[in-house]
C-alpha cells in the first residue's frame, strides 16, 4: 500500500485530515504539501514538501518520489475571497484538481479525494432538504469552479476509470484552526470570540439559515467515503452531505447555554447575498444509502464539542 498525500495540508481541513490519517496509518505513511508548513505541531511528524499545487511538474515529482497511492487535494479559494479575485479563484480551484486527475489517469495515483461544496447550488435550488440533483446555478465563482470540478471528476471516472470521490461540504466548524475567505466562517468566529469572553458582529442576517458540520463529522464522512467499495458509489460528481443547520440567532442561543453573556450584533454585508443564494439544509439520502452516512453533531452537541476542543491545551 502506498502513501497518502494531502495537497493543501496547512489549511483548516488539511490539519484535521492529517491528524486522522496519522492515527489510522501512521505519520510515516502521510506526506504533506502546501506553500507553507502546517501550523499544527504534529505536521513535523510527516514528510513535508513545499510546493505550489498549481505546478503540475512539482506534483508529479512528489507523487513519484514518495510512493503515493491516495491524493487528497484540498486546495481552494473559498466563496467570499473568490468574489474579490475571480480569475485567481478559478485557477486555484481548477489547476491542482486537473493535475491530480491527470496523475490518476496516468496510473501514478490509485484514488483521489476532492471537496466540493453546497456553493454549487444557487437561488433556484429548493432551499430546504436540497436534493442531490437540484439545479446548479451558483452566483459565485467558487460555486462555478466547484461545479466544473465535479464534472471533471465524473468525466475522468467515466472516460478513464479514475477512482475519484467527492463530497459537497457544508460550512465546516473546527477548533484547531480558523477558516479564511468563506461565507460560513462567522460560525467559527462566534465560537472563538465567545470562548474568549467577547461578542461578535455578524456579517449575515440574524435568521440566515445555512447547512453546517463539525470537522469531526466531515473527516469521518470523508474517510467513510474513501473506504467504501467503488461499486457502491452511484455519484461520481459529488455527494450531498448534511450535518446540521442553524441561523446566527440560533447559534447565539446555543452558545449562551455555555457562555450566558455572549451576544451577537448584526451588520449584513456582501456575504449575506452569497449566503441567501445557498440552501438552508441538504438532502443527503444518496450518501446514506450508498455508504451509510450519518452525521453525529446537531447544533447543541457541535457547540459543546467545539468549546471542549478550545479548552484543551494546544
Ligand atoms: C464557504 O463559506 O465558502 C465555504 C463553503 C460553504 O464551501 N465554507
Q: How many angstroms from the chain centroid is the CA of residue 282?
A: 15
Residues 252 and 296 placed together within one structural domain of the fold: yes
Question: In this predicted structure, what is the pLDDT of residue 314?
Answer: 60
* 142 catalytic residue (yes or no): yes
| Kind and range of the H or E run holding 239 | strand 239-240
From 120, 142, 170, give the residue that closes a domain.
170
Question: Is the residue at 137 inside a domain?
Answer: yes
Which residues on adjacent β-strands are paired with residue 3? Answer: 68
Rounded distance from Cα 64 to ligand 1 centre (Å)? 32
Q: Which atom of ligand 1 is nearest to the CA of 80?
A: 3
With contact defined as beta carbons under 8 Å apart, do 134 and 127 qualify?
Answer: no
Residues 145 and 206 placed together within one structural domain of the fold: no
Average pLDDT rounded to a whole number, residues 45-71: 98
| Percentage of the residues of the chain whose pLDDT score is greater than 90 | 97
Which residues on adjacent β-strands are paired with residue 264? Answer: 200
Q: How many angstroms from the chain centroid is the CA of residue 294?
A: 17
At 105, list the grid cell.
489517469
Q: Give ligand 1 pocket residues (Cβ under 6 A).
A: 78-79, 117-119, 142, 169, 171, 182-184
Q: Which atom of ligand 1 is nearest to the CA of 179?
A: 8
Residues 83 and 41 placed together within one structural domain of the fold: yes
Phi, psi of 267 (to 5 degrees): -140, 80
pLDDT tens figures, 7-37: 999 999 999 999 999 999 999 999 999 999 9
Q: Give the Å distances, CA to CA, from 263 to 186, 198, 202, 209, 283.
A: 13, 8, 10, 18, 31
Question: In this predicted structure, what is the pLDDT of residue 189?
Answer: 97
First-to-final CA distance of the chain: 32
Residue 63's contacts (CB-CB under 8 Å, 6 or more residues apart) are 5, 71, 103, 108, 109
Rounded distance from Cα 167 to ligand 1 centre (Å)? 13
Residue recorded with cell 454585508: 269
Question: In this predicted structure, what is the pLDDT of residue 194?
Answer: 97
| Kind and range of the H or E run holding 273 | helix 270-276
- Determine the structural domain holding residue 302 and report its residue range: 172-211+243-311
Residues 161 and 27 placed together within one structural domain of the fold: yes
Question: Is the residue at 289 inside a domain?
Answer: yes
Q: Per the structure, how many domains does the chain have?
A: 2
Query: Nearest C-alpha to atom 1 of ligand 1 is from which residue?
Result: 182
Query: Nearest C-alpha to atom 7 of ligand 1 is from which residue?
Result: 117
From 140, 170, 200, give the residue that closes a domain.
170
Q: Which atom of ligand 1 is nearest to the CA of 184?
A: 2
Question: Is the residue at 35 inside a domain?
Answer: yes
Phi, psi of 6 (to 5 degrees): -105, 115
Q: Which atom of ligand 1 is nearest to the CA of 78?
A: 3
Query: How many Å apart are CA 164 and CA 152, to the nearest integer?
Result: 10
Query: How many Å apart are CA 210 and CA 239, to the nearest integer?
Result: 17
From 170, 198, 220, give the residue that closes a domain.
170
Query: Nearest C-alpha to atom 4 of ligand 1 is from which residue?
Result: 182
Query: How many Å apart are CA 187 and CA 200, to the nearest integer?
Result: 10
Average pLDDT rounded to a whole number, residues 284-302: 98
pLDDT tens figures, 72-117: 999 999 999 999 999 999 999 999 999 999 999 999 999 999 999 9
Q: In which band, very low, low, confident or very high, does the pLDDT at 313 lie, cut at 50, 70 and 90?
A: low
At 188, list the grid cell.
467559527
- Upper half-sphere CA count for residue 83 (Cβ side, 13 Å): 16
Question: In this predicted structure, what is the pLDDT of residue 60?
Answer: 98
Residue 48's contacts (CB-CB under 8 Å, 6 or more residues apart) are 9, 31, 32, 33, 34, 37, 38
Average pLDDT rounded to a whole number, residues 120-137: 98
pLDDT tens figures, 220-272: 999 999 999 999 999 999 999 999 999 999 999 999 999 999 999 999 999 99
Residue 3 has pLDDT above 90, yes or no: yes
Q: Give the Å distances, CA to CA, from 298 to 211, 245, 246.
A: 11, 8, 9
Q: In which band, very low, low, confident or very high, does the pLDDT at 287 lie, cut at 50, 70 and 90?
A: very high
Residues 145 and 9 placed together within one structural domain of the fold: yes
Q: Which is catalytic among the residues 72, 142, 156, 169?
A: 142
Rounded distance from Cα 117 to ligand 1 centre (Å)? 7
Query: How many Å apart are CA 273 and CA 270, to the nearest integer?
Result: 6
Question: Is the residue at 45 inside a domain?
Answer: yes
| Kind and range of the H or E run holding 205 | none
Question: In this predicted structure, what is the pLDDT of residue 177?
Answer: 86
**Which residue out of 146, 171, 180 has the highest number of ligand 1 atoms within 8 Å of its CB and is therefore the one to mutate?**
171
Q: Which atom of ligand 1 is nearest to the CA of 115?
A: 7
Query: Nearest C-alpha to atom 8 of ligand 1 is from which residue?
Result: 171
Rounded distance from Cα 265 to ligand 1 centre (Å)? 22
Nearest to 74, CA basis, from 121, 21, 24: 21
Other CB atoms within 10 Å distance of the CB of residue 111 = 17
Question: In this predicted structure, what is the pLDDT of residue 178?
Answer: 83
Average pLDDT rounded to a whole number, residues 191-219: 97
Q: What is the DSSP letter of 233?
A: -
Residue 179 has pLDDT above 80, yes or no: no
Residues 36 and 134 placed together within one structural domain of the fold: yes
Residue 130 has pLDDT above 90, yes or no: yes
Query: Nearest C-alpha to atom 6 of ligand 1 is from which residue?
Result: 171
Residues 263 and 299 placed together within one structural domain of the fold: yes
Nearest to 243, CA basis, from 284, 205, 196: 284
CATH at residue 302 = 3.90.25.10
Most confident range (mean pLDDT) of 91-95, 177-181, 308-312 is 91-95
Question: In this predicted structure, what is the pLDDT of residue 187?
Answer: 98
Rounded distance from Cα 65 to ligand 1 centre (Å)? 33
Rounded distance from Cα 59 to ligand 1 centre (Å)? 26
Residues 19 and 152 placed together within one structural domain of the fold: yes
Amino acid at each position: 500500500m502506498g502513501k497518502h498525500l494531502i495537497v493543501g495540508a496547512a489549511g483548516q481541513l488539511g490539519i484535521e485530515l492529517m491528524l486522522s490519517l496519522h492515527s489510522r496509518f501512521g505519520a510515516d505513511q502521510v506526506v504533506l504539501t502546501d506553500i507553507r508548513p502546517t501550523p499544527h505541531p504534529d505536521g513535523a511528524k510527516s514528510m513535508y514538501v513545499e510546493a505550489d499545487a498549481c505546478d503540475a511538474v512539482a506534483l508529479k515529482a512528489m507523487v513519484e518520489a514518495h510512493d503515493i497511492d491516495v491524493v487528497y487535494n484540498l486546495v481552494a479559494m473559498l466563496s467570499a475571497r473568490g468574489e474579490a479575485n475571480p480569475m485567481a479563484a478559478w485557477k486555484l480551484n481548477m489547476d491542482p484538481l486537473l493535475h491530480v486527475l491527470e496523475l490518476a489517469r496516468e496510473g501514478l495515483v490509485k484514488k483521489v479525494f476532492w471537496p466540493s461544496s453546497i456553493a454549487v447550488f444557487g437561488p433556484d435550488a429548493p432551499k430546504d432538504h436540497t436534493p442531490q440533483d437540484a439545479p446548479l446555478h451558483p452566483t459565485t465563482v467558487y460555486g462555478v469552479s466547484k461545479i466544473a470540478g465535479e464534472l471533471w471528476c465524473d468525466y475522468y471516472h467515466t472516460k478513464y476509470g479514475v477512482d475519484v470521490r467527492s463530497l459537497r461540504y457544508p460550512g465546516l466548524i473546527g477548533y484547531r484552526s480558523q477558516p479564511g475567505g468563506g461565507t460560513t466562517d462567522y460560525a467559527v468566529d462566534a465560537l472563538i470570540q465567545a470562548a474568549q469572553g467577547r461578542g461578535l458582529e455578524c456579517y449575515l442576517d440574524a435568521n440566515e439559515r445555512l447547512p453546517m458540520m463539525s470537522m469531526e463529522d466531515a473527516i469521518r464522512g470523508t474517510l467513510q467515503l474513501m473506504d467504501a467499495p467503488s461499486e457502491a458509489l452511484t455519484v461520481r460528481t459529488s455527494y450531498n452531505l448534511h450535518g446540521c443547520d442553524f441561523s446566527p440567532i440560533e447559534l447565539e442561543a446555543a452558545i449562551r447555554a455555555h457562555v450566558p453573556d455572549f451576544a451577537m450584533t448584526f451588520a449584513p454585508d456582501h456575504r449575506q447575498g452569497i449566503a441567501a443564494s445557498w440552501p438552508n439544509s441538504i438532502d443527503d439520502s444518496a450518501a446514506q444509502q450508498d455508504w451509510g452516512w450519518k452525521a453525529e453533531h446537531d447544533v447543541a452537541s457541535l457547540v459543546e464539542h467545539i468549546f471542549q476542543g478550545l479548552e484543551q491545551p494546544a
